C-alpha cells in the first residue's frame, strides 16, 4: 500500500460514527495505540509555484475549494489499513495476506464465481519444483474487486463485461514517494505543501500534468513525492530523476537537510475521474475504490472514496441477502448464475463520491488541452462557480501509451548526478522499497505474444526505449546483444515494485502485468 497521504476522514467517520467525536474513542487514539502511528491534523496548507531558482505562494483564496485540507489528517495509509484490518478481524472478518488473486473464476452462466490464487513453486523454466503447491479457488456469492489503480483482475473484468462502453479511457499518473526522518527542530507537524511548476512545467502552457507534495507528520516524518501524468509526450522524461531533481529546490531541500531517507516507493493513480468510471457491477461482483477509478485528481485523494465505495457495496450486498433475492437463503453458491448488485451503482450515483467527482469532471482534460495555466484557471472556475454544472464535456481521447511521441522531436534531458545525501541513484534507493520476489519463478511481467518484436522495432527505434526511464525500479534494460552489435531487452522482474506503470505507458502496451508468486513485491511499512 502506497499513498501520500492527506486523509479526508469523512468516510471513516461514517464507518465508525461513535469514533468521530473528539475524545477518548476517537479513531486517531486507537490508531496511535495499535500502530504507533500519528494521524496528524493538518494545520497549515501551502500551495507554491516553483521556478528553477525561485518560488511564490499562491494564496488559498485563489485555489480550488477542493484543495482546502482543513479537518484532514496526515497519515501513513499502510498503517491505517493495518489498523482497519484489525478492526475488521475483531468483527469476525478473515483476512489472508500473502495470497494474490491471479485470475477470476467464472460459473457456467458466465458470471463471476470467485478468484484463484497462483500455483506456487514453479521454476523459471516453467517446471514444478519440490515446493510446488496448486493455487486454490475461493468461491463467493459476491466478489468485491479492490485491487487499486489498474488492477489485473479488475482490468480483465472490465474487458470481459465491456464495462467501459460509452465511457472515456482511463488516464493515469505515476506517484513516486520517499519518507524521511528529520531532526526534531525542523518538524512542522501538520504542514501540507503542494507545488506546481519546476521541474515538470517550464511555462504556463506546458502540458506535462503533475505536481508535488510534502507533508510533515508527527513525530518527525516528512513524506515527499511527485506525481507525473502518464499522458506526457517526451519519451526522454524520467519521472524518477525529475523527482530527485525537484528535491534540490531550496523550498524542498530545507525540509530534508539533516534528515535520513527511510523509505522509497511508487504507484500509479487514476486521473480520468468522473468520465472514466466504468460500469461498476457485473454478475457476481463489483469494482471498488481505485479499481473503479474513484480518485479525485484535483484533490489527489482517493482513500476516502475507496472506503466509502466499500461501505456502499457492503450495504447493497447486505440488503440483497436480507431481502432473500439471492442464493443466501440456502447458503449454497449457485453454480450457474450470480446476481448483479445494481443497487450498488445507484448508491454510488446518489452519494458524495459522485458529487465530488462530478464537480471536477472536466478539470484534468483542461490541463491536457490548455496547459498548467489554463488548467488552473478552468479548475478554479469549475470548483468556485459552475461546480461541474457547465453544460459541456471536455472529452478525453486516447490511451496514455499513445500519447508518447517519437524521440526525434525531443532532445535528451540532462539530469544532475545524485549526491547520495539528498538525491539517490535508483538502484540504491530501491533497497528502501524492500521489494522481494522468489528468484526462481516465471516472470510476472509477460510480453504479449503478438508484440514480441515491439521492444526492438518500435520502443527502441521510434521512442528511444522510454521504459528504461519511466519504470521507477529499473526493471527494463537494453543491453548489448551478441548478434550484429544490436541491443536486447532484459526484464529484471525481481526489482518490480508493482506500480503498474509499464502496463499503461509501454509502447503498444506490449507488457501484461500479472501477479507474482504469493507475497512477492515491495514491503512498504510506512508508505
Ligand atoms: C503517490 C500517491 C499519493 C496519494 N496521495 C493521496 C492522499 O494524500 N490522500 C488520498 O486520499 N489519496 C491519495 N492517493 C490515492 C490513494 O492512495 C488511493 O486512492 C487509495 O489508496 C485507493 O484505495 P484502494 O483500496 O482502491 O486501492 P489501493 O490502496 O491501491 O489498494 C489495493 C490493494 O490491493 C492489493 N492488490 C492488488 N491486486 C491484487 C490482487 N490481484 N490480489 C490481492 N491483492 C491485490 C494491492 O497490493 C493493494 O494493497 C495517493 C496515491 C498515490 C499513488
Ligand atoms: S516493472 Fe512495471 S510495475 Fe514493476 S516497477 Fe517497473 S513500471 Fe512499475
Q: What is the average pLDDT across 364-370? A: 88
Residue % of the chain over a pLDDT of 70? 97
Residue 222 has φ and ψ, to the nearest 5°, of -125, 125
Q: Is 392 helix (H, G, I), strand (E, B) or coil?
A: coil
Quick: pLDDT tens for 453-495: 999 999 999 999 999 999 999 999 999 887 777 889 999 999 9
Mean pLDDT rounded to a whole number for the chain: 92
Distance 75 CA to ligand 1 centre (A): 14
CA triplet 129, 130, 135: central angle to 5 degrees?
Answer: 70
Residue 285 has φ and ψ, to the nearest 5°, of -170, 175
Distance 64 CA to ligand 1 centre (A): 24
Residue % of the chain over a pLDDT of 90? 75
Give the per-residue pLDDT at 429. Answer: 97
- The partner residues of 196 in beta bridges, in order of sequence, read 49
Q: Are 269 and 239 in contact (CB under 8 A)?
A: no
**Nine cell digits for residue 288:** 471498488
Distance 471 CA to ligand 2 centre (A): 5
Give the per-residue pLDDT at 235. Answer: 98
d(CA 470, CA 196): 20
Q: Are 239 and 228 in contact (CB under 8 A)?
A: yes
Structure-model confidence comparison of residues 329 and 291, the more confident one: 291
- The partner residues of 210 in beta bridges, in order of sequence, read 228
Q: Are 148 and 289 in contact (CB under 8 A)?
A: yes
Q: Is 311 helix (H, G, I), strand (E, B) or coil?
A: helix
Residue closest by Cα to atom 4 of ligand 2: 496
SS3 percent helix, strand, coil of the chain, rounded to 5, is: 35, 20, 45
Q: Are 360 and 275 in contact (CB under 8 A)?
A: no
Residue closest by Cα to atom 35 of ligand 1: 147
Distance 29 CA to ligand 2 centre (A): 36
Q: What is the average pLDDT across 84-108? A: 93
Does the pLDDT value for residue 331 go beyond 70? no
Mutate to test the pocket of ligand 2, among 496, 507, 524 (most ligand atoms within 8 A of CB): 496
Q: Out of 181-195, 306-320, 336-350, which region has the weakest mean confidence (pLDDT)?
A: 336-350
Give the per-residue pLDDT at 85. Answer: 95
Q: Which ligand is nearest to the CA of 270?
A: 1
Give the per-residue pLDDT at 321. Answer: 81
Q: Superfamily for 96-168+275-361?
A: FAD/NAD(P)-binding domain (3.50.50.60)
- Local confidence band at 231 (pLDDT 50, 70, 90 cut-offs): very high
CA end-to-end span of the chain, whole Å?
Answer: 7
Quick: pLDDT tens for 139-159: 998 999 999 999 999 999 999
Q: What torsion do the CA atoms of 378, 382, 383, 385 make, to the nearest 10 degrees? A: 120
Q: Are 162 and 242 in contact (CB under 8 A)?
A: no
d(CA 293, CA 172): 10
Does the pLDDT value for residue 420 go beyond 90? yes
Give the per-residue pLDDT at 330. Answer: 57
Q: Are 294 and 306 in contact (CB under 8 A)?
A: yes
Q: Are 212 and 240 in contact (CB under 8 A)?
A: no
Q: Are 218 and 208 in contact (CB under 8 A)?
A: no
Same fold, 96-168+275-361 and 400-513: no
- Local confidence band at 335 (pLDDT 50, 70, 90 cut-offs): low
Residue extents of the structural domains in the chain: 96-168+275-361, 400-513
d(CA 519, CA 330): 35
**Nine cell digits for residue 153:** 483482475
Classify domain 400-513 by CATH number: 3.30.70.20
**Nine cell digits for residue 386:** 459552475
- Local confidence band at 324 (pLDDT 50, 70, 90 cut-offs): low
Give the per-residue pLDDT at 277. Answer: 97
Burial of 516 (0-12, 13-18, 19+ CB in 10 A): buried
- Local confidence band at 374 (pLDDT 50, 70, 90 cut-offs): confident
Residue 411 has φ and ψ, to the nearest 5°, of -105, 145
Q: Which atom of ligand 2 is nearest to the CA of 503?
A: 2
Give the per-residue pLDDT at 17. Answer: 87
Does the pLDDT value for residue 183 go beyond 70? yes
Whether the bond between 219 and the residue before it is cis, its omega within 30 degrees of 0, is: yes
Does the pLDDT value for residue 518 go beyond 80? no
Q: Are 476 and 459 in contact (CB under 8 A)?
A: no
d(CA 452, CA 470): 20
Does the pLDDT value for residue 35 go beyond 90? yes
Tell me, using a 6 A CB cutoff, whether residue 298 lines ligand 1: no
Does the pLDDT value for residue 110 go beyond 70? yes
Give the per-residue pLDDT at 484. Answer: 73
**Element (DSSP H or E) covering residue 352:** helix 352-359
Give the per-residue pLDDT at 375. Answer: 87
Handedness of CA 229, 67, 289, 219 (dihedral sign): positive
- Local confidence band at 336 (pLDDT 50, 70, 90 cut-offs): low
Nearest to 39 by CA among 237, 196, 215, 173: 215
Q: Characterize the bridge pairing of strands 6-7 and 73-74.
A: antiparallel
Does the pLDDT value for residue 268 go beyond 90? yes
Q: Which atom of ligand 2 is nearest to the CA of 493?
A: 1
Total length of the chain: 527
d(CA 261, CA 167): 41
Give the per-residue pLDDT at 316. Answer: 95
Displacement of CA 36 from its chain's centroid (Å): 25
Give the per-residue pLDDT at 325. Answer: 55
Q: Which ligand is nearest to the CA of 471?
A: 2
Give the per-residue pLDDT at 323. Answer: 75
d(CA 229, CA 224): 17
Does the pLDDT value for residue 332 go beyond 70? no
Residue closest by Cα to atom 21 of ligand 1: 303
Amino acid at each position: 500500500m502506497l499513498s501520500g497521504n492527506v486523509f479526508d476522514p469523512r468516510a471513516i467517520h461514517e464507518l465508525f460514527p461513535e469514533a468521530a467525536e473528539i475524545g477518548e474513542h476517537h479513531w486517531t487514539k486507537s490508531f496511535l495505540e495499535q500502530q504507533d502511528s500519528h494521524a496528524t491534523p493538518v494545520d497549515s496548507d501551502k500551495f507554491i509555484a516553483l521556478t528553477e531558482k525561485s518560488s511564490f505562494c499562491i494564496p488559498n483564496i485563489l485555489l480550488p475549494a477542493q484543495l482546502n485540507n482543513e479537518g484532514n489528517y496526515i497519515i501513513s495509509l499502510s498503517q491505517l489499513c493495518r489498523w482497519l484490518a484489525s478492526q475488521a478481524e475483531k468483527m469476525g472478518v478473515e483476512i489472508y495476506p500473502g495470497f494474490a488473486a491471479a485470475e477470476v473464476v467464472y460459473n457456467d452462466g458466465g458470471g463471476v464465481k470467485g478468484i484463484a490464487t497462483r500455483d506456487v513453486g514453479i521454476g523459471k523454466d516453467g517446471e514444478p519444483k519440490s515446493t510446488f503447491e496448486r493455487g486454490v479457488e475461493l468461491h463467493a456469492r459476491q466478489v468485491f474487486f479492490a485491487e487499486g489503480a489498474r488492477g489485473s483482475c479488475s482490468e480483465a473484468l472490465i474487458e470481459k463485461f465491456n464495462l467501459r462502453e460509452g465511457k472515456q479511457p482511463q488516464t493515469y499518473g505515476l506517484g513516486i514517494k520517499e519518507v524521511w526522518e528529520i531532526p526534531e527542530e525542523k518538524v512542522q507537524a501538520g504542514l501540507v505543501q503542494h507545488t506546481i511548476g519546476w521541474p515538470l512545467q517550464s511555462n504556463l502552457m506546458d502540458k506535462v500534468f503533475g505536481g508535488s507534495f510534502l507533508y510533515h507528520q508527527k513525530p518527525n516524518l516528512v513524506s515527499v513525492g511527485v506525481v507525473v501524468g502518464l499522458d506526457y509526450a517526451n519519451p526522454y522524461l524520467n519521472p524518477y530523476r525529475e523527482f530527485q531533481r525537484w528535491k534540490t529546490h531550496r523550498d524542498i531541500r530545507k525540509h530534508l537537510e539533516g534528515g535520513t531517507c527511510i523509505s522509497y516507493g511508487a504507484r500509479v493513480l487514476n486521473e480520468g475521474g468522473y468520465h472514466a468510471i466504468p460500469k461498476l457491477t457485473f454478475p457476481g461482483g463489483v469494482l471498488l475504490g481505485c479499481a473503479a477509478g474513484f480518485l479525485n485528481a484535483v484533490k489527489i485523494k482517493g482513500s476516502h472514496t475507496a472506503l466509502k465505495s466499500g461501505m456502499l457495496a457492503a450495504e447493497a450486498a447486505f440488503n440483497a441477502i436480507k431481502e432473500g433475492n439471492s442464493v443466501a437463503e440456502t447458503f449454497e453458491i449457485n453454480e450457474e448464475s450470480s446476481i448483479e448488485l445494481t443497487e450498488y451503482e445507484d448508491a454510488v450515483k446518489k452519494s458524495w463520491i459522485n458529487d465530488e467527482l462530478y464537480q471536477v469532471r472536466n478539470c484534468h482534460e483542461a490541463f491536457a488541452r490548455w496547459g498548467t495555466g489554463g488548467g488552473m484557471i478552468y479548475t478554479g472556475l469549475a470548483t468556485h462557480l459552475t461546480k461541474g454544472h457547465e453544460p459541456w464535456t471536455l472529452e478525453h481521447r486516447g490511451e496514455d501509451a499513445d500519447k508518447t511521441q517519437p524521440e526525434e522531436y525531443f532532445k535528451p534531458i540532462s539530469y544532475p548526478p545524485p549526491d547520495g545525501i539528498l538525491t539517490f541513484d535508483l538502484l540504491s534507493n530501491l533497497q528502501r522499497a524492500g521489494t522481494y520476489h522468489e528468484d526462481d519463478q516465471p516472470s510476472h511481467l509477460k510480453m504479449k505474444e503478438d508484440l514480441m518484436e515491439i521492444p526492438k522495432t518500435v520502443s527502441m527505434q521510434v521512442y528511444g526505449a522510454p521504459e528504461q526511464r519511466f519504470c521507477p525500479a529499473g526493471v527494463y534494460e537494453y543491453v548489448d546483444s551478441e548478434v550484429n552489435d544490436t541491443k536486447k531487452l532484459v526484464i529484471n522482474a525481481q526489482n518490480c515494485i508493482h506500480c503498474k506503470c509499464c502496463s499503461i505507458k509501454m509502447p503498444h502496451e506490449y507488457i501484461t502485468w500479472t501477479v507474482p508468486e504469493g507475497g512477492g513485491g515491495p514491503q512498504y511499512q510506512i508508505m
